[in-house]
Amino acid sequence: MNFQMNFRWLKRYVPRGLYSRAALILILPVVTLQLVVSVVFIQRHFEGVTRQMTRATAREVQLLIDRLPGPDAVLPPDLIALAQGLEIDVSRVAAADIPASSLKRWYDLTGAIVDASLRENLSDTRRVALPDDYNVHVYVSTAAGLIDFHFDRRRVSASQPHQLFVNMVFFGVLMTVIAFFYLRNQLRPIKRLAEAAEAFGKGRSVPYRPSGALEVRAAGSAFLDMRARIDRQIEQRTLLLSGVSHDLRTPLTRLKLGLSLLDSDDATDMLHDVDDMQRMLDGFLSFTRGAGDVAPEDTDPCDLVERIIRDSQRAEIPVTLGDATGCDQGRVMLRPLAIRRAVTNLIDNAVHYGNRAEVSILLTEKSLRIRIEDDGPGIPADRRGDAVKPFTRLDSARNQNRASGVGLGLAIAADIARAHGGSLRLGESEKLGGLQADIVIRR
Ligand SMILES: Nc1ncnc2c1ncn2[C@@H]1O[C@H](COP(=O)(O)OP(=O)(O)OP(=O)(O)O)[C@@H](O)[C@H]1O
Ligand SMILES: [Mg+2]
C-alpha cells in the first residue's frame, strides 16, 4: 500500500496506452543495459588498457631521454638508430612551435588518459598533442632542450573504441524496430477486443473473431459468450414484456368499450383505472423498445433539443430553453428518437413533480450535456440511485394525488444515455432548486 502511495506521482509521467507502455518496457531495459555495459566496459577495460600501453611507451621515451646529449650537440647517430628501432621520431623544436595548450578532440574517449599517463610517467612533459587518430606528439624539456617525441597513436590506445558504440547503437535500434513490429501484432487483438467490447457497451454488435495469443483469445471467446448471453436475455425480456403488453391491450380495449356503455359513477372510476393500466402498458412497451435497436446518425444536438422543446411547448407543457453553449462545435453521433424519448421523459418528470422545466445544452470538444432542471422538491442524494432503477417510484405520499406512473421514466432515460456511451447524472438544480438531470454523452 505504502509502496503504491510513494510511486503514484510516477503515473503522471508514464504513457497511458498499452502500446506505448509495452514499448517503454521493451526499450528501457535495452537502453539501460547498453549504458551500463558501455560505461563499465569503457571505464574498466579501455582505460586500463590505455594506461598500460601508454606507460610502456613512456618507458621507451624515457630510455631515449636518458641518452640525449647536451643542449647544443647534434643528436648522435646511435640514438637516432635506437629511436628508429623503437618507432619513435625524435626532433628538437623551438618553444614557440609547440601548441599553446594540449590538443585533443572532444570525442577522443581515451585521449585524456593518454595525456594524463604521459605526464605522470614523463615528469618534464610540457605538452601532449593528439591531433588525429594516428599521431601523438609529446613535447618534453630535456638536457638537450625541448624535444618532440612523435609516435603512432595505436601504440598507446586500442584503435577506434567508438566502433563498439556504433555497433551497439546500430544493433540496438535494429532489434528494437523488429521487436516493435512483433509487439504491434501482439497488441492488435487486444485493441480489437476493446473496440468490440466498447461498441457492445453502446448497444452495437460489431463483427469480432478471437485472435492473437492464447490468453487474449480466451478473453475474446469469453466476451463472445457473454455477448451472446446478454443478447439472448435482452431478446427474451423484450419478447416477454412486449408480448404481455400487447396481449393485454385487446381485452383492455374491450373492457373500456364495455365500461363506457355503462352509465354509473363506478364505471367512470373504473374507466380511469383502465386508462392508467393502458398508460402503464405503453410504458412497458417503450421500455422494451430499448435504445440500441437503431444505428446512430450524425445529428445537430442543439437543433434536436430545440425541436423537442418546441413540440412540448405546443402541447402546452411549461418548458423553456436556457443556455445553449457550444452549438458551433459540430455534430454528434446520436439516435435522435431515443434522445427525444429520454429528454421528453425528463421534462415530463420535471413538470410532473415541479411546476416548470428548463433545458440547457453544453457542447464541448469532448462531450455533450443536455440538462433538464425543475423547481420541484428534487430527489435527496441517497435516493437518486434507487430512482433510476426500473419500476421504482419514490415517496408515494408526495405524489398521491397525481396520476400514477410506472417508475420507468428515469430508467429509460438512463438506458438511452448508456447506449450512447454516456450516463444520466442526477443532482440538485442551483438555478431552480429542484431536480437537475444531466444526460452526458462522450463524443
Ligand atoms: N423531477 C423530479 N423531481 C422530484 N422527484 C422526481 C423527479 N423525477 C423523478 N422523481 C422521482 O423519481 C421516481 C422515479 O421516476 P420515474 O420517472 O422513473 O418514474 P415515474 O415518474 O414515477 O413514472 P413514469 O415516468 O414511468 O410514468 C419518481 O417516482 C419520483 O418520486
Ligand atoms: Mg417519470
pLDDT digits (tens, 9 = 90+) for 169-202: 898 889 888 988 888 888 899 999 999 998 888 7
Q: How many CA atoms lie within 13 A of 367 on its CB side?
A: 12
Residue nearest to atom 3 of ligand 1 (CA): 378
Residue 409 CA, ligand 2 centroid: distance in Å: 4
Ligand 1 atom nearest to CA at 279: 27
Task: List C-alpha distances in Å: 5 to 1, 2, 14, 148, 441.
Answer: 6, 5, 15, 65, 33
| Whether the CB of 377 sits within 6 Å of ligand 1 | yes
Ligand 1 atom nearest to CA at 410: 18
In a domain, residue 258? The reply is no
- pLDDT band at residue 266 under the 50/70/90 scheme: confident
Is 81:147 a contact under the CB 8 Å cutoff? no
C-alpha cell at 213: 495469443
Q: What is the reported pLDDT for 160?
A: 63
- pLDDT band at residue 403 under the 50/70/90 scheme: low
Q: What is the reported pLDDT for 290?
A: 60
pLDDT of residue 369 exceeding 60: yes
Q: Probe ligand 1: pick from 345, 349, 358, 359, max atoms within 8 Å of CB?
A: 349
pLDDT of residue 229 exceeding 70: yes
| Whether the CB of 410 sits within 6 Å of ligand 1 | yes
Q: Probe ligand 1: pick from 389, 410, 425, max atoms within 8 Å of CB?
A: 410
| Whether the CB of 407 sits within 6 Å of ligand 1 | yes
Query: Which of 153-167, 286-300, 423-437 is predicted least confidently?
Result: 286-300
| Whether the CB of 386 sits within 6 Å of ligand 1 | no
Domain end: 101, 135, 160, which one?
Answer: 160
Residue 392 CA, ligand 1 centroid: distance in Å: 8
* Burial class (CB within 10 angstroms; exposed 0-12, middle 13-18, buried 19+) of 415: buried
| Whether the CB of 387 sits within 6 Å of ligand 1 | yes
The predicted model gives 248-256 an average pLDDT of 87
In a domain, residue 138? The reply is yes
Give the ligand with the smallest distance to the CA of 406.
1
In a domain, residue 154? The reply is yes
Q: Which of 165, 160, 172, 173 is nearest to 39 (CA)?
A: 165
Instruction: Looking at mean pLDDT, say which of 2-6, 115-119, 246-250 comes out highest.
Output: 115-119
CATH no. for residue 61?
3.30.450
Q: What is the reported pLDDT for 173?
A: 87
Domain count, the chain: 2
In a domain, residue 118? The reply is yes
- pLDDT band at residue 400 under the 50/70/90 scheme: very low
Which residues touch 67 (CB under 8 Å, ≥6 apart)?
76, 79, 82
Residue nearest to atom 8 of ligand 1 (CA): 349
Residue 377 CA, ligand 1 centroid: distance in Å: 11
Residue 223 CA, ligand 2 centroid: distance in Å: 34
The predicted model gives 323-343 an average pLDDT of 91
The predicted model gives 420-426 an average pLDDT of 92
pLDDT of residue 301 exceeding 90: yes
In a domain, residue 387? The reply is yes
CATH no. for residue 295?
3.30.565.10
* C-alpha to C-alpha distance for 38 and 44, rounded to whole angstroms: 10
Percent of the chain residues past pLDDT 70, beyond the cut: 94
* C-alpha to C-alpha distance for 218 and 201, rounded to whole angstroms: 20
Domain end: 160, 195, 216, which one?
Answer: 160
Residue nearest to atom 20 of ligand 1 (CA): 407
* C-alpha to C-alpha distance for 274 and 204, rounded to whole angstroms: 37
Q: What is the reported pLDDT for 313?
A: 94
Is 319:313 a contact under the CB 8 Å cutoff? yes
In a domain, residue 136? The reply is yes
Give the ligand with the smallest distance to the CA of 379.
1
pLDDT of residue 396 exceeding 60: no
Residue 81 CA, ligand 1 centroid: distance in Å: 112
Residue nearest to atom 31 of ligand 1 (CA): 394
Residue nearest to atom 4 of ligand 1 (CA): 378
Q: 389: how many CB neighbours lie within 10 A of its CB?
A: 12
CA angle at 164 for the pair 158 and 169, rounded to the nearest 5°: 160
Ligand 1 atom nearest to CA at 437: 1
| Whether the CB of 125 sits within 6 Å of ligand 1 | no
Q: What is the reported pLDDT for 401?
A: 47
| Whether the CB of 358 sits within 6 Å of ligand 1 | no
Instruction: Looking at mean pLDDT, say which of 27-31, 63-67, 104-108 comes out highest.
Output: 63-67
Owning domain of residue 305: 291-442
| Whether the CB of 270 sits within 6 Å of ligand 1 | no
* C-alpha to C-alpha distance for 200 and 215, rounded to whole angstroms: 21
**H helices within 18-110, ranges in order?**
18-40, 47-66, 77-85
Q: What is the reported pLDDT for 398?
A: 54
| Whether the CB of 435 sits within 6 Å of ligand 1 | yes
Residue with cell 637516432: 80
Is 46:110 a contact under the CB 8 Å cutoff? yes
* 143-147, long-range: CB < 8 A, 24+ apart: 143/68, 143/69, 143/70, 143/71, 144/68, 144/69, 144/70, 144/71, 144/73, 144/75, 144/92, 145/71, 145/92, 146/92, 146/93, 146/94, 146/95, 146/98, 147/65, 147/68, 147/90, 147/91, 147/92, 147/93
Give the ligand with the smallest distance to the CA of 396.
1
The predicted model gives 357-368 an average pLDDT of 95
Task: Give the chain's largest Cα–Cα span.
Answer: 150
Ligand 1 atom nearest to CA at 377: 4
Please give the residue that has the higher pLDDT: either 86 or 399: 86
Domain end: 160, 192, 223, which one?
Answer: 160
Helix, strand and coil percent figures for the chain, each rounded to 5: 55, 15, 25
In a domain, residue 174? The reply is no
In a domain, residue 228? The reply is no
Residue 250 CA, ligand 2 centroid: distance in Å: 25
Please list the residues that pair with 321 across neighbouring strands: 359
The predicted model gives 275-282 an average pLDDT of 82
| Whether the CB of 118 sits within 6 Å of ligand 1 | no
